[in-house]
Structure 1
Amino acid sequence: MNQEVEFIKLSPTQNMTILVKSHHFNGDYQQIALRMMAYDHVYAEQVGFIKEPKDVNADGHLQMAGNEFCGNACMSLAAFIAHQKGIEENGISHLSIEASGAEELIACQVRKVEGDYKCRIAMPLPKRIEPRVIEYENTYVHAYSVEYEDFLHIVLEVDQVNEEVKTAAEALARSLERSFPETTLIGVLLYEKVRSYLAPLIYIPKLNSMVWERGCGSGTASIGAYLAFLSKQRISAEIKQPGGGIRVFGEYENGFVRHLQIEGTVRIVAQGKAFVTV
């Protein structure tokens, strides 16, 4: 059956994001998302669906196709809501977003700058950060796991991101699915500490989607949590990525990361109607 899908396409640090504005059955979300993400369709790295919020204090509700949490998609929705409300140049809007994969409302600050939207949002805090020795394909990898309620990130420090390391990261992401069968998202974060550079691999088992993202908001937050955990102090750092930089702010207190925020720029690039067969 053909469905007309109204959408808006945004670029948060070139992590191309489609937000679906029209209403569809939840059971069709995965197929709609996979089709729209395809190279021969609208083409993006991820798809979220805008729904009516349940909380009266929320300005919007974001439901990702794989039920995962996505920081860049939250920034995208905040930018879109601010745009709809008519935010003026250099104006600031404070919003709260309900989001899949997050138990609490996500606080967002949006400022319009030269037609783009500078967004800062509070991020979910990890439940634990710990060193791990991971075995896969007869190889042992020393890494840190950053575990959240519904998703997992693995931080791997590397000297240089290259194709060999990326191929190994893809195999690692798939192998972790067996150890964490309930997780909605597995991220393998290749981090070059010397130049503060991140290559984020995001694997969503439910969609069988594996993407080397050009910019990852939740991955940036996990790098910030990792750095705060190692240094045992407050951190502020710009994490360079293929699509540009995202800044992260983190605070450490009494053995835990207590506060995480990311800040990036969102650009609205297109809106229209797509046609999807489900």
Structure 2
Amino acid sequence: MEFQLHVTMADPAGNRTAIVTDPVSPKYYAPIGAALLKLPELKAEQAGFQTKPSHGGEVRLEMSGGEFCGNATRSIGYFYAIKNGRKPGDMVSAEVSGSTDLLNVRIDKDGAWCAMPLPLRIARLAVRNPDYNPGDPRSKNILNLPFVVLDGISHAILYKRQCTPQLADAVIDTIRDRTNAAAGGAIFLDDVQHSMTPYVWVRSTGTRVWESSCGSGTLASVIWLARNLKSGLYRLELRQPGGSLLAEVEKEYGHVCAGRIGGPITLEEEKVYTVTTADD
């Protein structure tokens, strides 16, 4: 089928998100999203569809794969604010697929912060190491990785490990085969360099992308880095391939009670694109 769609590109730290504002049947979310990602002029890493709020929010975004995305949450809140004449300091209540929470987006002069879903649990994920070297006593056949489970997406933290495609795919294969996560990430993290490289997979679409930045991966990293904090605020800026994101986590008595991510967002002029999907 052929669709003519009004699309606004949002760029939160390089994690380019196509926001479709036309009404679209949910059965076409995945194929339209895939078609938009193939348009070279968009340079999109993900796509979402603005829909009618369902549980009290001012705006709602359905990601093409039904996953949760922190950068998309910031983007739809900022997009709605600009369209409706909101000012820096104003709050927009947003709904996003993959999360049942109503998430507040605070508008800044050049971007936005958003509240994030609290972690469901912090576990461990056993992954067979494709880079295992039996001749190296420091090399391990099985990696026991920190695994931060969020509502709508789960991330394995690869702390100070070499970023290789083989290891990234091994992590994603394990998340796909051994969990019921709607989406997952292999997050290569170095807190000394304040850097992070995210590799993100979505179950319903099967896509695997080296993302320019990842909001939920940033939050997951900071949650893990703050694991020994009993009470107080842990805040960190992480440099990623497409730019930097900030995250902060509040804890009380060893438990995460609030989490937020923030940073600049660029909105481009709305344009109409024609995409074609396979027939039913």
Question: Under a length normalisation based on structure 1, what TM-score does the superposition of the two structures give?
Answer: 0.90
| Cα drift, residue 173 of structure 1 | 0.6
Within 5 Å, which residues of 2 pair with 1:149-164? 149-161=151-163
1:20 aligns with 20
AA paired with 2:123?
E
Which of residues 198, 201, 222 in structure 2 aligns to 1:200?
A: 198
Q: Is the 8 A contact 1:154 1:188 kept in 2?
A: yes
1:274 aligns with 273
**Which consecutive unaligned segments of at least 5 residues does structure 1 have?**
none
The alignment partner of 2:267 has SS state of: strand
Is it true that 1:76 corresponds to 2:75 in the alignment? yes
Which of residues 198, 206, 218 in structure 2 aligns to 1:220?
A: 218
| Cα drift, residue 41 of structure 1 | 5.8
| Cα drift, residue 5 of structure 1 | 1.1
AA paired with 1:19?
I
Q: Larger strand proportion, structure 1 or 2?
A: 1
Q: Is the 8 A contact 1:20 1:49 kept in 2?
A: yes
Q: Is the 8 A contact 1:12 1:72 kept in 2?
A: yes
**Which consecutive unaligned segments of at least 5 residues does structure 2 have?**
133-140
Is it true that 1:174 corresponds to 2:153 in the alignment? no
| Cα drift, residue 134 of structure 1 | 2.6
| Cα drift, residue 63 of structure 1 | 0.5
Is it true that 1:108 corresponds to 2:105 in the alignment? yes
AA paired with 1:187?
G
Cα separation, 2, equivalents of 1:141 and 1:253 = 30
Q: Deviations over 1:30-81 (max 9, x none)?
A: 00000101154633000010001123x3110110111111010111111111
The alignment partner of 1:32 has SS state of: helix
CA RMSD of aligned residues (A): 1.7
| Cα drift, residue 132 of structure 1 | 4.0
Pick which of 40-49 and 14-23 moved more: 40-49
Judging changes above 3 Å, is the alpha-carbon distance between structure 1 residues 149 and 74 closer, same or farther for their aligned structure 2 residues? closer
| Cα drift, residue 149 of structure 1 | 3.3
Q: Is the 8 A contact 2:153 2:183 kept in 1?
A: yes
Count of equivalent residues: 267
2:137 aligns with none
Cα separation, 1, equivalents of 2:229 and 2:128 = 27
Within 5 Å, which residues of 2 pair with 1:1-278? 1-40=1-40, 42-55=42-55, 57-87=56-86, 91-112=88-109, 117-135=110-128, 139-161=141-163, 165-180=164-179, 182-233=180-231, 234-278=233-277
